[in-house]
Amino acid sequence: MFEAFSDNLIERCWNWTGGYCQCTRYGHGHKRECNQLLDKLKRGHRDGKSAWEAVSISGLYLDSMRDCQIICWPCFEKTSSGDEAEVNT
């Protein structure tokens, strides 16, 4: 069963990130946060660096900004393909 965040939560997370990728996973080609600039209108698009998705850090899709991470499509593809490497802190 696919879970999803509420539109309200995604909007709050988007505003908090300023429209930049928050990915901090090792092995994605960035040292700390990815910080790729994203296009708000390209959520769920499967092409381009400015495309993005909201992912659950815990995998439980909790209704919390602490669990919602905005990441660019290239980082999303690496994560969803099984690259669940350690997260930089």
In tens, the pLDDT along 61-85 reads 999 999 999 999 999 988 865 444 4
Q: What is the pLDDT of residues 14-62, one digit of tens each?
A: 999 999 999 988 888 787 889 999 999 999 998 888 999 999 999 899 9
Alpha-carbon distance of 72 to 83, in angstroms, equals 15
End-to-end CA distance of the chain: 30
Higher-confidence residue of 37 and 3: namely: 37
* E strand segments, the chain: 52-56, 68-72
pLDDT of residue 3: 66
Q: Which residues contact 9 (CB under 8 A, 6 or more apart)?
A: 63, 64, 65, 68
DSSP letter at 71?
Answer: E
